[in-house]
């Protein structure tokens, strides 16, 4: 299948402001791009791309005083299959983990393992290790919390999320990631696109989505504590320890996000040439 992804954001800066954007499709999906994944900035400003320490594509810009509009449209080819499920995937001993997985066992800004360790072992210590334990964590988080955009709180970590029992998709992911790390399961936070493909349409405005990945059975698997079912059409933007590592924009000066629109939808395999042309323009 083909998936049309995109966004249209407008920032208003009080003074010229350096910004780091993390909005491009993750390099691991670059070969799936049918049309270019290119940021369009109005007014035009210089873009300096780089790859960060987690392998995500970032761009640096100096936003002018006033409004800066950042937009993008692309078509991504996708296999159209739900997230893989392997109930037999086993948990690894820490001594057997690859070096690059170890950082995802540590506490981070929004995943306070020191505060949640006792709770994690009390809730899940007797659950079979591996896939079964991760799924039990997702089941608990999904039933423990209420989802709502009105519950968004940029400073809330996993410990407060556990107490508040409410949040947005990033809070679901942070709590699940924290429980996994407490139980010695490497877990990393993911952000990207997830449209209503294969599920009933959600009437709420489209947004970026958060999920997480765990290292079990010799590879990384995607889990989603908010939806808690395998989904079709995830398009990764970035991975990190938590949301602090993968913010869509990191600004170094006073500003406000004035307008925000996100698009994720399945399009015909034979996308009309007019649409392709409009995406490239």
pLDDT in tens, 48-91: 999 999 999 999 999 999 999 999 999 999 999 999 999 999 99
Q: Is residue 7 part of a domain?
A: yes
Task: Determine the Cα–Cα distance for residues 270 and 46; give it in Å rounded to an integer.
Answer: 34
pLDDT (0 to 100) of residue 204 = 87
Task: Determine the Cα–Cα distance for residues 200 and 102; give it in Å rounded to an integer.
Answer: 38
pLDDT (0 to 100) of residue 272 = 44
Tokens of 94: 């820490």
Length of the chain: 281
Q: How many CA atoms within 13 Å lie on the side-chain side of 8?
A: 5
The candidate with the shortest Cα–Cα distance to 3, out of 197, 163, 260, is: 197
pLDDT in tens, 90-125: 999 999 999 999 999 999 999 999 999 999 999 999
Q: Rounded to a whole number, what is the distance in angstroms from the first to the last CA of the chain?
A: 23
Share of the chain above pLDDT 90, in %: 93
Assess whether 150 and 192 both reside in one domain.
yes
Assess whether 255 and 227 both reside in one domain.
no
Q: Is residue 107 part of a domain?
A: yes
Q: What is the mean pLDDT of residues 187-205?
A: 94
The candidate with the shortest Cα–Cα distance to 58, out of 211, 237, 254, is: 237
pLDDT in tens, 20-33: 999 999 999 999 99
Residue ranges making up the domain that contains 6:
2-79+246-272
Assess whether 116 and 209 both reside in one domain.
yes
The domain that contains 204 carries what CATH number? Answer: 3.10.620.30
In the predicted structure, residue 164 carries a pLDDT above the cut 70: yes
Per the prediction, the chain carries an average pLDDT of 95
Place of tokens 């997702």: 138
Number of domains in the chain: 2
pLDDT (0 to 100) of residue 269 = 64
pLDDT (0 to 100) of residue 165 = 97
Assess whether 135 and 225 both reside in one domain.
yes
The domain that contains 60 carries what CATH number? Answer: 2.60.40.2250
In the predicted structure, residue 281 carries a pLDDT above the cut 80: no
């Amino acid at each position: 299948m083909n998936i049309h992804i995109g966004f249209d954001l407008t920032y208003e800066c009080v003074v010229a402001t350096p910004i780091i954007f993390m909005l491009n499709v993750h390099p691991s999906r670059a070969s799936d791009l049918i049309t270019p994944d290119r940021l369009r900035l109005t007014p035009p400003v210089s873009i300096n791309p780089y790859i960060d320490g987690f392998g995500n594509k970032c761009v640096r810009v100096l936003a002018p005083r006033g409004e800066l509009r950042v937009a993008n449209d692309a078509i991504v080819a996708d296999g159209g299959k739900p997230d893989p499920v392997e109930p037999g995937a086993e948990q690894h001993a820490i001594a057997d983990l690859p070096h690059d997985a170890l950082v995802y066992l540590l506490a981070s800004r929004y995943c306070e393992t020191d505060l949640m360790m006792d709770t994690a072992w009390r809730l899940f210590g007797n659950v079979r290790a591996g896939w079964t334990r991760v799924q039990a964590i997702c089941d608990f988080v999904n039933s423990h919390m209420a989802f709502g955009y009105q519950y968004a709180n940029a400073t809330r970590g996993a410990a407060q999320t556990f107490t508040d029992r409410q949040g947005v998709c990033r809070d679901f992911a942070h709590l699940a990631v924290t429980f996994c790390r407490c139980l010695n399961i490497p877990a990393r936070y993911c952000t990207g696109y997830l449209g209503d493909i294969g599920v009933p349409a959600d009437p709420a405005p489209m947004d970026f989505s958060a999920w997480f990945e765990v290292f079990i059975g010799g590879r990384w698997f995607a889990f989603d504590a908010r939806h808690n079912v395998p989904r079709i059409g995830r398009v990764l933007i970035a991975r990190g320890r938590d949301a602090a590592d993968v913010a869509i924009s990191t600004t170094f000066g006073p500003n406000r996000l004035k307008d925000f629109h996100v698009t994720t939808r399945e399009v015909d395999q034979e996308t009309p040439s007019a649409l392709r042309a409009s995406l490239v323009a």
